A and B are shown apart, each in its own frame.
Chain A
């Protein structure tokens, strides 16, 4: 998308070839296996995450595939956000946080000591629950990342392209120099998405991106996600199961297990499947109970 204008000014940061796999829409087993063939971006095997001696997530294994939207659902404390933050090594910022098992990004061990977390975060963008624009102009919010990444000169094209891809351009093109704080919550969140994609990441992580938004703003973001997945791989954590059902290609359901030795809880991955299956006929009874919402 939009390589015409940006190619002149932008050095593509991600080396990934622009393979766009056709999304096979429906449910028969044959088609489901066609979806399986999308290349793996993140390969997670037996991943455990500890905060000090407390184990937050235990032995999770799953694959995030290119140009798909993967949703993480589950009750509070099930480790879905912790898991998401492993993908851009945000957990490194927390004292005492430790990861066991393997997490590979295109076959490269993301937790190899030689890997620079800053480099990781350039390729993997994050959008948070509460929109967090900088207290600067709309233009500067978008231009900030590319500038930091060393882009020089006129960034107008980069800003326009990012805002267009985030479906915000038409609403803000006449007030780019005004403060981003004057935007509505939904617009702010789309600005944050524009900011995340302005540095040309490969993956966009979203941690409950709509939980502070009204239903219309939520629908805008959901529509936007469908457009963005042609260019990016998206992982979303959501408390809204209907949202996971609406937007995602695959769903991972996490839950909590009470530890035998203490009364702490550890997050476990119960089921990771094509979304249609999770919401029509899940394999695990715990998933069924959670998605129907009829048993806690």
Chain B
């Protein structure tokens, strides 16, 4: 790089580096969409207990994991070769952290899918089942909002997400209350499976909030947004 020349002819420099950063940004979106598709499968498996669709979700998660590995390697490569600083460094570091968030959401999604395969058991408590469906819808919506915020660098939406979701916490509290009150021969089995699914959904919402924090840090550079962590 020649600063003298750059001063003479204003314009973009380090084109390959710039293109790679743009690729990282886009690949995060692609991976986010893959996770989103699996969340949609999760909702359907929860609703129907369809084992074929569950298989599909498991296979898709392998792709998500592979993408996590390859993109992490790409980030390390950029760090080693290009020595990014300032907003470029924040982007690469944020991508690394967002990758593991996405991967984690994918895992939690599978946890719900696996619990949902005991469909006959879950529907034995219609109220808990309804709450789970509501939580699944909200967790998916929150995650989708996080993807949208990332794609459009929407600081306002990011701040909203980072504040967390009050309603999913309430739903989770209602779920626990319902499960504790269950009686009958299958009560323990129903409660355990429903609780596993409910906890995972609540965690997915938490990760959407963390994604909001990560984006706030990326945009503002304020280290205060690094502190945000899962509440539970």
Contacts and interface: CB of A to CB of B under 8 A. Distances in A.
B70 interface: no
B214 to A, nearest CB: 15
Interface string A263-296: 0010000000000000111100000101111111
Which bracket fits the contact residues of A? 20 to 34
Contact of A75 (B7, B11, B14, B221): B7
Contact of A294 (B4, B18, B83, B222): B18
Contacts of A239: 3
Which bracket fits the contact residues of B? 20 to 34
Interface in A195-245: 239, 241-242, 245
B85 A279 contact: yes
B184 interface: no
A288 B83 contact: no
A276 B228 CA distance: 21
Contacts of B5: 296
B217 to A, nearest CB: 10
B51 interface: no
A239 B12 CA distance: 19
Contacts, number: 65
B223 to A, nearest CB: 7
Nearest to B12: A295
Nearest to A281: B221
A77 B8 CA distance: 11
Contacts of B171: none
A292 B3 CA distance: 12
B178 interface: no
B80 interface: no
A77 B6 CA distance: 12
Q: In the complex, which of the residues A242, A288, A290, A296 has the most CB atoms of chain B within 10 Å of its own CB atom?
A: A296
Contacts of A295: 10-13
A28 B223 contact: yes
Given A295-B11, A296-B7, 5 more contacts: A255-B7, A280-B90, A281-B90, A294-B88, A295-B13
11 contacts: A76-B4, A76-B7, A239-B3, A279-B86, A280-B89, A280-B90, A280-B221, A288-B87, A293-B1, A294-B13, A294-B14
In the A-B complex, the 8 residue pairs with the closest CB atoms:
A296-B6, A281-B221, A75-B3, A76-B4, A75-B7, A279-B85, A292-B88, A291-B85
